[in-house]
Structure 1
Amino acid sequence: MTVGALGWNRFAGVSRPVAVVVLSLLALLMVWGATGGVGRDYVAVAKPTSAQFDGLVGDHALYARIAQRVDAGESYYAAAAAEHRVGDYPLRPFVAVRLPTLAYIVATLGEQKAMIFLLAVGGTAILGWYRRLRTESTLPRYAAVGALFVAANLTQLAAREWLFIHEVAAGILLALALALYRPARPWWTMAIVAAALAIRETVLPVAMLFGTFALIDRDWRAAAGWLAIGLCFAAGLAAHIAALAAVTTPVDAASQGWNGQGGWIAYLSFIQASSLLRFFTGWVGALLVPLALLGWAAWRARLGLVVLLIQFGYAALLMLFARPANFYWAMLVTPTLFIGLAFAPAALTALVRSLARPKRAIPASAI
């Protein structure tokens, strides 16, 4: 195998100690997940007693009802405050109430057209990843199969109830933004990340990461663009806080906080519930998720590093802060996580070869 063929694989030719550490960590995470009880014990889904509306329950019903009231001409914040109170949802602090963007999109387009729009964005993301993986000169041709993993984990787009969950729309946009990301031409990625940020403020770490790389590259125009997005977001968030303060009172319910601290097993459970893995038993995800992360770690490229940092960052957030009812936060990253499985076989092969490589004999002259 030529040097060029190995160039994309970070684990090709690593030393034996490095291979031992990486494979040991991989095995530890797999065993931990397989024996840790991944599944619904860590996920709180809507109950029959939860808020209901037009066949939807829980958060789905809450956000659908708000969108309907906005469509009827009511102010978003008045509608959100009323529906939160009726469903006994918290109104404080401000992050307990979603930004109004998705509600306005659904109210303006209508449910059917909004679903078609999200399907179109999802389809574009799938095609974008296929083209990106197929045309990267350093990657093997089979890497394009990663686009199938994107498609498999966008199945929520075909279900009406997920139209109203903000992480679904933001996750689709992030998948598209990453497929289009090129440091020398970041403008499409910048616009799409800004749109995702307008839907869900938890996209902010991604914008900050891109801005950091722009600074590292000394690309001052791109850095200025990301700074402008940050400033616009701050202004929009300030307006959101002010508008919400106008319709809430000190006696309104407050959130119980975000300190789930469920750790690795909770993270795996959230990924399972938010992806195609929901159709399989928990041990399947316990094996595949670490392999997907290993695959992303293997791709020696700016995009590979960016996605790996995003996956690790949100994994940490989910492990530390997400409560069982927040499992769908994982939908921000599940569309791109399993692309890493396309790189995992080559990563494993390289690590095993490094592990099996015979030790060099010590020359007699060195003794």
Structure 2
Amino acid sequence: MKADRIHNFNAGPAALPLPVLEEIQESFLNFAGSGMSVTEISHRSKWFDDVINDAIARVKRILKLNDRYQVLFLQGGASMQFCMVPMNLMGDGDSADYVNTGTWSTKAIKEARIQGKSINVVASSEDRNFSYIPRAIPFNAGAAYAHITSNNTIKGTQWAQFPDTGGVPIVSDMSSDIFSRPLEMEKFGLIYAGAQKNMGPAGVCLAIIRDDMLARTPEGVPSMLRYSTYAEKNSMYNTPPCFAIYTVQLVLKWLEETIGGLDKMEALNRKKAGLLYDYMDQSDFYRATAERESRSLMNVTFRLPDEDLEKTFVAEALENGLGGLKGHRSVGGCRASIYNPTPLAAVAALVDFMKTFERKNG
């Protein structure tokens, strides 16, 4: 770790790989010999064509996508997708299934209902404060799609296995665990993910959509809200967020060439999460808030004996070079977001600090 950098456990915008930041720094003023910054080049230039086409190619290789899937770079974050998904994928008379596992699922349901769409909440974990992922879900065979949030940043839960929907295409908000593990892509009709948690900076949203889903958009949907608009123009119908896409390209390059792909990434993520959960499970001082079978590998949420100790813990952690450990404002407590770029050494340093803090305050 650089002497002037801390271990970053922020939930988003979050940590980026240090080699990516160094490459950005090195090329920022003169990108690819252009004599311009990457923030200055035209999105119609060959320089940016190379960036976006390489990013798309890497997404396809990493996720082993076949030719039926289109890779899109959109704006408006994952929150814009909450309205775009039902707007594009549901026609007159259609209904869709949603599983409510917390804040972001709740928002997605709200945005679909604002449009007057027929939404069935087929399962919810609200009965236990969203501390688990529902099982044995009664999906409807005739649903246009089944919407889930694959990882829940606020409550620290994650789908360990994706549900059997009986062939109904899954639409998933994967903002906080995209590229953290291999996927069986044939289950998914659409994946979307804001970049700022696990693959880049804020400002761009990745969408991966299957051709049959792309063809569903009803007449009357505005151009900027149609997936086909971006598919037809290689995500450059209007000026895209060039710098954010460039950073995503570099993160994908790091994942593919330095880490070695999703199998190795998943193994590292499991090792990082295991360090934290194993320590908390044998401690009477720290308590993981998510139920064991539903624990996230990306966002480890936990509580201390009281709120005053939690405030002291967060403050002293920062003094010791461990940042971003305060829980979401809606739930309090503590949270360590250990996304792909967070190194194992950072998690080990956090566990060492937790042990010291427990000895002093337990």
Answer yes or no: same fold by TM over 0.5: no
- Could you tell me the TM-score, scaled by structure 1's length? 0.26
* Between structures 1 and 2, the one with greater helix share: 1
- Of the two, which has the highest radius of gyration? 1
Higher RCO by CA contacts (8 Å cutoff, separation 6 or greater): 1
- Could you tell me the TM-score, scaled by structure 2's length? 0.26
* Between structures 1 and 2, the one with greater strand share: 2
